[in-house]
Structure 1
Amino acid sequence: MPPIVSEEYKEKKKEQILKSALSCFADKGFQSSTIDDIVSHSGISKGAIYNYFKSKDEIYLEVLNRATAKNIENIRDNFSKLRSTLSKINFIFDGYLNTNPFEHERFRYIVVFYEFTLHCTRNEKLLELLTRRRDTFINLLVDVLKEGQEAKEINNEVDPEIFAHQFWTIIDGVSLQAVYNDFPYYDVLREMKEAYIEKLKL
């Protein structure tokens, strides 16, 4: 009989694979990295890796899904402590203003994320999965903006869906521009934050 493997053991193996894969993607790029690279980095056999994941795409999606769940939970937890709509919008903006996109490790993972996003445009199934992830963030902000309008805290003429898309477009834009070392990330994001919030005010 084969040995019984606990769920805790399986989770540790998955974590080991995910960490090694993300490191490989950051070092070589998502497209250039191979399962063999992950095998070399992790010390786990190719057969064992395929027991957990069917492909490189599936590995990165798992990384992304875990990070997304953690981010959403963090945002919701903080939203529950904030009363006004504008304080919630400020909180999300400030999360990016308090982050250094030029820090080496974060920068590498940002690049991998956008590389994978572009990779998904060539695969309808992957793009659908990525779209669902995006919709989670969009809907989170749509709900906040609608609640603010119902409570008469923000301008009732703004379109919550458009403004939710606009917010994440701002974040994607400044994050992508951070590939240039001389990009004034903080100044640009502060200006865009002020303009965005000004449009929401009554």
Structure 2
Amino acid sequence: MAKIENEHSFCQGLSFPSTIARLGEQSFSRSHMPRVSQEHEQEVRDRIVRAALQVFAERGFHRATMQDIVRASGLSVGAIYTYFKSKSELILAGCDLITDQELAQLGARLASVTGYRDRIAAAVGYWFDNLAVEQTDGGSGFLILQAWAEADTDPAIREMLVRRRRETVTSIVMILQEGVMRGELPAWLDVPSVAHAISALLDGMLIEAAEDGAAYRRADHERRILALIETLLAARVAAPPEPIAAAPARPYESARARRAAS
């Protein structure tokens, strides 16, 4: 797999608020530690997490070992295990680290943008900028696609993905609620449901980018996201729509099941 230089590809996409507060258990109270020692510990912890992200990108979650991470970090085995007891803890810490950084970067971008439509464009553009970094610096390896493939068998990876989705949806909810309060979006908008749908659509763009390979064109994919949001903006003066009732679930016979029975 191609080497992924930018650690943001670990939780690629609009991934947002979380805190990096889970430190390894110690036999003494950290509340009495000097500030310089706390800062040093955080630096060491972040160094380990970044090394783990690099190893996960190069070798995949399951093939990566703690010894690989020890070598990549340049620290001792004891130093690694002081902060993290397992690879699973590193997976979760890595996602937390990246989402915190992404929140700060997106906030900095939006701070200088006042118009609501411009803020929408800036937020969507940020997501595609992030994807572009992974493509140019990381080659063809989309680590998040590996995570989806392995979520069914690895609880830690599943938890990481759940956090990622929760944070993404939360950030989109905030942006949509801002639009409702400004009168840019209809007051009747089902904000939570629409936020989940946009989150899924963004992940769909990631899948399409992986499928398209060299044929991927950012402008085309970005336009699809913005086209959906433009439809929502145009609906601000429309009456609430009649709800569409979901169709009842019906049995479905897959081709695989048919082959297995024959």
TM-score, L = length of structure 2: 0.64
Report the equivalent of 2:256.
none
Give the direction of change, closer, same or farther, for the CA distance of 1:160–1:47 in structure 2 (3 Å limit): same
Give the direction of change, closer, same or farther, for the CA distance of 1:123–1:25 in structure 2 (3 Å limit): closer
Give the direction of change, closer, same or farther, for the CA distance of 1:117–1:141 in structure 2 (3 Å limit): same
Report the equivalent of 2:69.
38
C-alpha separation in 2, matches of 1:98 and 1:21 = 23
C-alpha separation in 2, matches of 1:97 and 1:28 = 25
Give the direction of change, closer, same or farther, for the CA distance of 1:28–1:144 in structure 2 (3 Å limit): same
Give the direction of change, closer, same or farther, for the CA distance of 1:157–1:199 in structure 2 (3 Å limit): farther
Report the equivalent of 2:201.
170
Report the equivalent of 1:57.
88
Aligned-pair CA distance for 1:141? 1.6
Report the equivalent of 2:150.
119
Aligned-pair CA distance for 1:151? 2.3
- For 1:59-102, what per-residue CA distance to the aligned partner results, in whole angstroms no more than 9, with x for missing partners? 12112101101112232343343333322221111123445242
Higher helix share: 1
- Unmatched tracts of structure 2, length 5 or more: 1-32, 235-262
C-alpha separation in 2, matches of 1:34 and 1:149 = 48
Tell me the C-alpha RMSD between the 2 structures. 2.7
C-alpha separation in 1, matches of 2:217 and 2:190 = 27
Query: What is the DSSP-based 3-state SS (H/G/I as helix, E as strand, rest coil) of the residue aligned with 1:32?
Result: coil
Aligned pair partner of 2:114 in 83, 94, 103: 83
Aligned pair partner of 1:179 in 210, 220, 231: 210
- For 1:124-164, what per-residue CA distance to the aligned partner results, in whole angstroms no more than 9, with x for missing partners? 56634542442222122212212312321123454222221
C-alpha separation in 2, matches of 1:145 and 1:182 = 33
2:57–2:143 CA contact under 8 A, matched in 1 = yes
Report the equivalent of 2:15.
none
Report the equivalent of 2:228.
196
1:154–1:201 CA contact under 8 A, matched in 2 = yes
C-alpha separation in 2, matches of 1:18 and 1:78 = 26
Taking every aligned residue pair, what percent have the same amino acid on both sides? Answer: 25
Number of residue-to-residue matches in the alignment: 197
Aligned-pair CA distance for 1:188? 3.1
Aligned-pair CA distance for 1:34? 0.5
Q: Larger relative CO (CA 8 A, sep 6+): 1 or 2?
A: 2
Report the equivalent of 1:66.
97
Higher Cα Rg: structure 1 or 2?
2
Aligned-pair CA distance for 1:45? 2.6
C-alpha separation in 1, matches of 2:42 and 2:139 = 24
- For 1:157-198, what per-residue CA distance to the aligned partner results, in whole angstroms no more than 9, with x for missing partners? 542222212222222112223224234241431331332122
C-alpha separation in 2, matches of 1:151 and 1:12 = 41
